[in-house]
Structure formats: C-alpha cells, structure tokens
Structure 1
C-alpha cells in the first residue's frame, strides 16, 4: 500500500511518529507538535499551539525554579510579557507606577496605551520609587535600571506595597535570577527578557513572567492565550538549550564587567562610570544586600558622540549593538534611542572573552588616538 502513495504522502509518512497527546511528535531536539487530539474531549491539553506546548512547560518549569517561583509563563518577547502583566493587573481607575529611568518602551507603552484606558500612569526613577509606591495600585520596578544601573531597595519597596495592598512587579532582566531573587523580597511577580543573558547568543526573542500566586498567574495565562503573544516552539527549545550554560556565561560576564568598570573608573578619558559592583558606586550599598552578583552591564560617560563611536572603531573586540547579554562584548550609545543621558553615554555589555584581553582592548581603544 505504501508503494502506491504519491511523493508527498510518502515523505509525510516517513517523518511521522506515533501520536501521543501531550508529547512532542518527534523525539529529537526539534520541539514540534501536531497537537493530536485525544479521544477525551475534556482533556484540553495541547490542542492548539497558541494555548499550550510541551516544550513551553519544560522551559517554564526551569524558569520557575531559577526565579524561586511555583509557576512561570513564556512569551514571544520581554515586552510581550510586561505588557500582558500590566494589562492584567492595571485596571481603569487604578494608579500604575513605571520606571522613569528604565527600559524606554515600557514608559511608551504605559503612557501611550494604558493611560488612554483610564489608568493613571506615574513615572518614577529608582530614587522616587518608594515615595510613588505609597500612592499606587500597581508598581513596576526595574533594578538595576537600564541604562543608569541605579538600584531599587526591593525589601523596602516590597514592604510599602504590602502595606498599601499594591501589586509589585520587578523587571529582573538586568540582574537575571542568577544574581537576584525579587520574589524573596516581596515581589508578586517577576518579568524579564530572556532575549538577553539567559539565552545569551543574540539569536532569539523571548520573555517570561514568574510568580507563586495561582489566581494571578492564571489570569496572565488567559491574557497570553487571548492576545496570542506566544513564544515559538523552536525558540523555546533554543532558550532551553542555552540555560545549561547560562551560569558559566553569566559568571564570566560579571567578572568581565567588574574588571572593565574598575579600569574605566581610573581612565582619564572617562568622565564617569556606573556599576553596582564598584564600592564607590552610589548603588553599591543596596545592591550588596540583594544581589549575589552585580551583572554584566557597565555604563560610562565619554566626552561626546564621536568619542563613543571611536571606542568601537578602535577596538578589536567591541561590537555596536543595542541588545545585551550575549557572548560578545557590545557597546550602545543610549542617547540615540531617546534616553535622558548625555551624548557620550555608553552602555557596555560584557561578553565572555578572556578578562585580560577585554580590559586591555578597551583601554587601548580609549587611549590610542592613532588606532
């Protein structure tokens, strides 16, 4: 009978495997699923790719474990995760506080969309977050903030929100769960972009939400289903592939960032440096109480736009890129995106190069005008 099939039928049959509801079709790294329906019409598991996926569940279990949560939900990007949380928690008539010095698209989403839905949006810097939380129903904090690298005292903020009865959401993208556990300081939810250090190869977009309150997580899962802000199955597997080496990569990134920040702090061409791991940094006292590592980002102010461009041009190792957390050290001049910083302000994302090589390369690029 098989010999009588046409070419297309034969090739489809050749790659088919036994249909087991709730399991990937092929027992390979490729996380595809044909979503075979079970005979039990009430089962509801993996009936459609927008509602559930066995590879999602594996990744979500891993992310929940890393964040110290009971549950996690993956999304197609960090912004998809954040916007789903804000749509779920912030209702018309409520007061929402978002970072004034954090990721700019969060501010844009809150002011351009949520405010038009009858939500009062208040912008607060890291230093203003505690005061603004006293009048909020939902607080979104980003710490360390991107790109200023200021730090919010999560223990104090958590106490304010609990006393107020406000929901506290913490963007943990910069720190990652390998350096900071916001839920242990009283946060209701953690949101993050897994595009960055957790996936670490600059080849995908992904985000997630983690928490331990079943009703809240169920509401966010419903929002994901209805909005369709889902993560593709193959990208899900790519994040899973990357998590196994995330600890090693992040450890090297933190070591490199510390070394680069230390060098920059004493370099005559650098006007200022921010890194929570520097004892002289204003955020160091708070960061030391809530972070086990200080992350892979360093912010520095050079003379002007031209100086920022020269840094990359003269370097053998630096690349210009606006994302961060990858294996290559990258530089981003943040003023080009509208951040409220000086023209020569750069955010350096430390990669996994050998520390001595990286420090020497950046120092040469800053010091040698003839290169």
Structure 2
C-alpha cells in the first residue's frame, strides 16, 4: 500500500474519536430503529429507516475516508451495481460491459437493462481501451477482471470516455480502495461489494457506491430511498468492525498470494497461472503502475474438470465456495457458473492462514 493509503487508513481508525464526548463508546452503537421521535419534522437528524440510519452513516464515513469521496451504502454489491447503472442509464441508452467480468452484472444487463431499451455491448476487458465509445456510452469496467484477472488502463479509458461524452463506472471489488484508486484515475463512479475483503469474515452482504460528482451521488441516494434497497443496521455494524482490520488482512493475503502464485507457476500439474504480481503476467506492467498491490486472487488451470475437482476436495486448508476475500482461503472451479474459462480453471482466493502451512496443503493436494 502506498504511503497516502496508510495515512488514510490511520485516519479511518481514529476519525470517530475526534467526535466523541466524555464517556461515549469508541465503537459505534448498533442502532436498528426504523422510526424516530418527530414532534416536528424540521431539523430532525433522522426520520425513517428507509431514508437513513446512524449505523449506515458510520460505515459511509469509514468508506468515504478510504475512497476520499462520498459513499452510499447498499445491502449487497449487486444492489450497489444496479443502483449506479439505474442512476445513469436514463438519457444514456448504451452500456459497455466486460464480457469476462462478474457474471451477475452480465446477466442483470442482458435480462433486465436490455429489456428497458438499453443497448448492451459486452467486450473482453483487454479490448476496453480501444472500444468504440461514440454516443456517450456508459462504460462499466472491472479491473482486474473476475475471474480472468486481465487489467485495463483506467486513466486511459477514463480520458477516452470523457472525450466521447460518456461516463465510466469501475467495479473495484477485487482490489478495494486500499490497492487501487479508480476515482483518482478519472472514473466517475466506483462500485464495490464490501461483502468480500472489507467485511472479511464471509458473514454479511454489503456494497457501496462512491463518487465525487454531487449530482450523481444525489441520484444514487434517491434510487436507494425510492427503491428501498437499504442495508440492515446489523450488517453495517459488522462491516464497520471488519473494515478496521482490512489493511492488516490485505497485507498478509497479498504477500501470501505472491508466494503461492510463484510456486503454482512452477508446479507441473498447473498451467496458465494468472496473477498480476508475476513478472511474466500480461497485466504485470500495467498493474505496477495502476495498483499499490497485486491482490489476493489467483487464476490457474488444471488438466481437466476432474483434476480440478479432485484438487479442491483434497486440500484441507481450502473452502469450496463461490465468494472471495474472506479470512479462509477459498477455491472454486469457475466453469460451473458459465464463465468462459477452461473446464479445469480455478479461482483461488488466498486467506490469512500462515503461508507455509497453506502451501504445504496446496502442494500435497496437487500431488
């Protein structure tokens, strides 16, 4: 993580203390009230639970420090993604999405947005930088892509989108604001599933939208209020707690991922290892310029579907699950979800286990 990121995180850990009076709790209280005392409506800090809750606001403040931008909280990453798209696909009816990105975004765009007259164009991430952006398109980018881990030059694409009169939304779930700064690189909006690394313990759903454009922020907040896509107070409280250990968890996870990726690349049972931290990875040079860490996700192939499933079942320090970013290392054969990958392709999310016992278990399962 770069020095400014470390400063932001230190500020995050102590920002609440500056607002406290004597005897108040350091950790924010869990407030789940949906109704508030309103003898009159003028000047009330809160009015109704669909509009705002104190515990959401505590998390939005945390996330805002990380993003260096106002943030709007949502009950899942997909709720954040759909809110961002619904906020901008009004007069704009052309949407460019990654064909190799998160499959639920693709399904939502094809099955729902297209039905409302949006022209949906799916392109591989490596083609995004040279895409036809005419017509003021909304470009939705995921970099590194999930699960293939291809990277796209955010600053270059942001400049091209702006010149064409469009808008750029970046899904930054895989990196978080600690490892990649899309808004600093020119993106109009960032979306992320805080379900993953920020929460970190695989026990809540949460998401957020961040933007420095006040008009876009208002549109997103109004969508949340009117659609009712609001997070729960308990989930917000758990996320607040999880974020406070995000930096130390990421440091361990990324360091371990680098070691494991290098060892996987040398193993005879494995091929086509993708990890931006590998010197020969196609995205390595761009990742070095654009990111302050290479992340905790690794992609690789085994000889067949059976070989991949046998490996996943044989490794005692790997959970077989569909998410990533948690404390437990997780592996999944992604072809089962319809991703355009080889039958033996595995997405590996490295957790916080000590790296040598983890590698010993992985190596034994590979052998």
Task: Report the Cα distance in structure 1 between the residues aligned to 2:28 and 2:200, rounded to whole angstroms.
Answer: 22
What does residue 21 of structure 1 align with?
none
Task: Report the Cα distance in structure 2 between the residues aligned to 1:67 and 1:304, rounded to whole angstroms.
Answer: 41
Offset, 1:119 = 1.1
What does residue 20 of structure 1 align with?
none
Change (3 A) 1:132 1:287: same
Structure 1 portions without partners, runs of 5+: 1-23
The answer to whether the 8 A contact 2:315-2:365 is kept is yes
Task: Report the Cα distance in structure 1 between the residues aligned to 2:42 and 2:51, rounded to whole angstroms.
Answer: 15
Task: Report the Cα distance in structure 2 between the residues aligned to 1:133 and 1:145, rounded to whole angstroms.
Answer: 20
Larger Rg: 1
- Say whether residues 1:213 and 2:213 are aligned partners: yes
Task: Report the Cα distance in structure 1 between the residues aligned to 2:95 and 2:189, rounded to whole angstroms.
Answer: 15
What does residue 51 of structure 1 align with?
51
What does residue 302 of structure 2 align with?
302
Task: Report the Cα distance in structure 2 between the residues aligned to 1:140 and 1:108, rounded to whole angstroms.
Answer: 14
Change (3 A) 1:338 1:34: closer
What does residue 167 of structure 1 align with?
167
Offset, 1:42 = 2.5
1:199 aligned counterpart, secondary structure: coil
Task: Report the Cα distance in structure 1 between the residues aligned to 2:65 and 2:94, rounded to whole angstroms.
Answer: 31
Offset, 1:133 = 5.2
- Say whether residues 1:126 and 2:125 are aligned partners: yes
- Say whether residues 1:63 and 2:101 are aligned partners: no
Offset, 1:34 = 5.2
Task: Report the Cα distance in structure 2 between the residues aligned to 1:232 and 1:306, rounded to whole angstroms.
Answer: 41
Task: Report the Cα distance in structure 1 between the residues aligned to 2:164 and 2:28, rounded to whole angstroms.
Answer: 49
What does residue 181 of structure 1 align with?
181
Offset, 1:31 = 2.5
Change (3 A) 1:162 1:92: closer
What does residue 337 of structure 1 align with?
337
Task: Encode CA deviations 1:24-82: one digit per residue, 9 max, x unaligned.
Answer: 9xx9743223532333312353211111011111111111110121x100101000000
The answer to whether the 8 A contact 2:30-2:55 is kept is no
Task: Report the Cα distance in structure 2 between the residues aligned to 1:315 and 1:116, rounded to whole angstroms.
Answer: 44
Q: CA RMSD in A?
A: 1.5
TM-score by length of 1: 0.89
What does residue 6 of structure 1 align with?
none
User: Which of 92-101 and 302-311 deviates more?
Assistant: 92-101
Task: Report the Cα distance in structure 2 between the residues aligned to 1:112 and 1:319, rounded to whole angstroms.
Answer: 31
- Say whether residues 1:90 and 2:80 are aligned partners: no
- Say whether residues 1:255 and 2:247 are aligned partners: no
Offset, 1:92 = 5.6
The answer to whether the 8 A contact 1:133-1:161 is kept is no
What does residue 15 of structure 2 align with?
none
**How many residue pairs align between the two structures?**
341
1:184 aligned counterpart, secondary structure: coil
TM-score by length of 2: 0.90
